Chain A
Amino acid sequence: MSASPTGGTSQFRREREKHWRKLEQLLDRVEKRGLDALEADEALRLPQLYRQALSSLAVARATSLDRNLLGYLEALSARAFLVVHGSKASFVQELLAFFAGGFPRALRAAWVELALATACLAGGTLVGSALVLRDPELFHSIVGAELASGRGPECSAAELRAPLYSGAEQGAEQLSLFAGFLFQHNAQIGLLCFALGLLAGVPVPLLLVANGLMLGAFDAIYRRAGLAGELWAWLAPHGVTELLGVALGGTAGFLVARAVLFPGELSRGESARLHGARAAAIAGGAVALFFVAALIEGIFRQRVHDVGLRTALAVATAGWWIFYFGWVGRRSSPGRGASAA
């Protein structure tokens, strides 16, 4: 028995410690300032040092009884693992890849939910229109006073017509405020739709149908005054995009609800993870739609009063979205898009 029983594991530590210290030092810098903090050769060494630390941990677990050493190697490996296997895509890159293919692909994969959301919205509109046409007084129980802003079945055609062509007298700066408000208001509702999916999705169709009912109620009072065409020319340029955005929010909500309620062959957790990220991507993408819609609504619509031009823009936006969601991103590999989405 030697008097200084520095066994094998002390020697193991002496030989490897400098690598651990080096790794620790690199990790300190990366955690503070990101991977850019490393020189090229250091960035190459990081994964090597990480694997070395893992092998040290495996050896130490089998041979060492030094509790501090074991804890240290465990934590060091964990820290390095998070850096080495963390996401490396830059924010901008990921965003570009998303809009260049991931977004339309995610929506195409959720066509059932999209159809359901669209049906809720359209069904609400038809029912609202039919109800108010039969009993005009229902208008006020469907549309809140704020949104109606004085309009109702008792108004004359001229009174109904005026708001459709207002805005020309407003300056550009007022319109920008209007557009900003519309954007954040609508996009917030779209995002909320996604989160509401967690409540087993019950509030999602309610929200969609309620939106449709209001639209239908407006349609009915303008139809009675013979102004339906002009109303839709006023609504559609931004409405195509905005209603699609609402439908996308509903799609996201339905996706989450499906994951929660009907996981199928997956476990509920796995199903949530699979659909949750896709749903969030769709809801996040819808924000861009609301942004476009608010620009059209706040600026174009208030300036352009020609029914023909308004209709042309509505048709153009509809065509663009059909093309974008129908065809964009079809050819590039879906595997990459799925990971970006």
Chain B
Amino acid sequence: MKPFVVDPLERFAARRDRGRALEIATPEGLRVGFRLAPVGDRAVAFLLDLLRIALFVLLLGVLVLGGILLFGIRDGAAWFGAAALVAFFFLRNFYFAWYELRNQGVTPGKRRIGLRVVDARGRPLRGAALLARNLTRELELFLPLLVLGSAAEGGSEGPLLLLASLWLLVPSLLPLCDPLRRRAGDWLAGTLVVLQPETLLLQDLGRIDRERVRTADALVSFTPQQLDAYGIYEVQVLEELLREAKQKPRKEVLRAVAEQVARKIGWSAPVRDPHEFLRAFYAAERAHLERKLLLGQRKERKSER
């Protein structure tokens, strides 16, 4: 499907931190996190949908042409022309609403980019709300363009039309001013556009398979005093580092970090395999902090006591 970005982990990491985080309350009482779709992504998705509409329009044109060829200019043009006019009307006004209603807030363009319309309060999307969010496109995009176009043509009404188009641009520019990046239509419908959540469950680094370790470094153990040296933030940074190391091993970085850790906790034995050593330390440190978590002690950073 996707022509580029092959590595799923890289793609995942790239998407994970994009867009502003927001939470939607589920009826079950738990708040679930989403990421707001950046304006650029939405613009690209919209262009893709527009392209698709253009393709449909082209198809309609071909049909009318075929009708003329088959039934003659009089009959063919009239019947097929009438059908094409009506079809074009529905395409223009109901393309987005139809797909979003059918596919739970996803149009083909949005699917391609990985976007999704959701109700801001976590309720099911309603048909009328989707209609509301999409019928306003006419006003937000086509009308300002139309008026701007006729203003550019000049004439005595030119300056007046320019003024009118400034006014008409107000709803179009709304998403740039709103922290939630809502279009006027989103605002009217109570919807938001979010990134489709991507699920990628990686190996549990806290689990060490005793049979498959390469060096004794993986089996070392630490004292609670040594493990008190760090907090949650450091453990999660270490997790990132180890996961990256699985993709692209960077020996010198791992060695430097291992030495740093050894110094901090007062580790005197030599470290032969920094990667294995850090794995062991990560597993021990995480288990240590998670145990404290169960006792209600949450140590965010190493500086905390």
Do A and B assemble together? yes
CB distance from B46 to the nearest CB of A (A): 17
Whether, in the assembled complex, A166 has its beta carbon less than 8 Å from a beta carbon of chain B, the answer is: no
Count A interface residues, CB 8 Å: 84
Q: Tell me the nearest residue of chain B to A79, going by C-beta.
A: B197
Count B interface residues, CB 8 Å: 91
**Distance, CA A254 to CA B14, complexed state (A):** 45
Chain A contact residues: helix, strand, loop or mixed: helix
**Distance, CA A21 to CA B199, complexed state (A):** 10
CB distance from B291 to the nearest CB of A (A): 7
Contact status B104-A87, CB under 8 Å:
yes
Contact status A87-B81, CB under 8 Å:
no
**Distance, CA A8 to CA B128, complexed state (A):** 48
Q: Which of these, A20, A66, A180, A192, contacts B205 with CB under 8 Å?
A: A66
B residues less than 8 Å from A1 (CB atoms) = 221-224, 284
CB distance from B27 to the nearest CB of A (A): 7
B residues less than 8 Å from A72 (CB atoms) = 199-202
Whether, in the assembled complex, A71 has its beta carbon less than 8 Å from a beta carbon of chain B, the answer is: yes
Q: Which of these, B26, B81, B199, B293, contacts A63 with CB under 8 Å?
A: B293
Contact status B207-A10, CB under 8 Å:
yes
Contact status B188-A272, CB under 8 Å:
yes
Whether, in the assembled complex, A234 has its beta carbon less than 8 Å from a beta carbon of chain B, the answer is: no
Chain B contact residues: helix, strand, loop or mixed: helix
**A-B interface pairs (CB < 8 A), number:** 250
**Distance, CA A276 to CA B104, complexed state (A):** 20
B residues less than 8 Å from A307 (CB atoms) = none
B residues less than 8 Å from A77 (CB atoms) = 26, 30, 32
Give A304-331 as 1s and 0s: 1 = Cβ < 8 Å from B's Cβ atoms.
0000000000000000000000000000
Whether, in the assembled complex, B20 has its beta carbon less than 8 Å from a beta carbon of chain A, the answer is: no
Q: Tell me the nearest residue of chain B to A97, going by C-beta.
A: B127
Q: Tell me the nearest residue of chain A to B194, going by C-beta.
A: A78
Interface residues of B (CB under 8 A from A): 16, 24, 26-28, 30, 32-34, 74-75, 77-79, 81-83, 85-86, 88-89, 92-93, 98, 101-105, 116, 118, 122-129, 131-132, 135-136, 138-140, 143, 167-168, 170-171, 184, 187-190, 196-202, 204-208, 210, 219-224, 232, 235-236, 239-240, 243, 283-284, 286-291, 293-294
6 pairs from A and B in contact (CB 8 Å cutoff): A21-B201, A62-B293, A85-B124, A198-B184, A273-B190, A280-B129
Interface residues of A (CB under 8 A from B): 1-10, 13, 17, 20-21, 24, 34, 51, 54, 57-58, 62-69, 71-72, 74-79, 81-83, 85-89, 91, 94-95, 98, 171, 173-174, 176-177, 179-181, 183-184, 187-188, 191-192, 194-196, 198-199, 256, 259, 269, 272-273, 276-281, 283-284, 287, 339-341
5 closest A-B pairs by CB: A180-B82, A7-B287, A276-B188, A280-B132, A273-B190
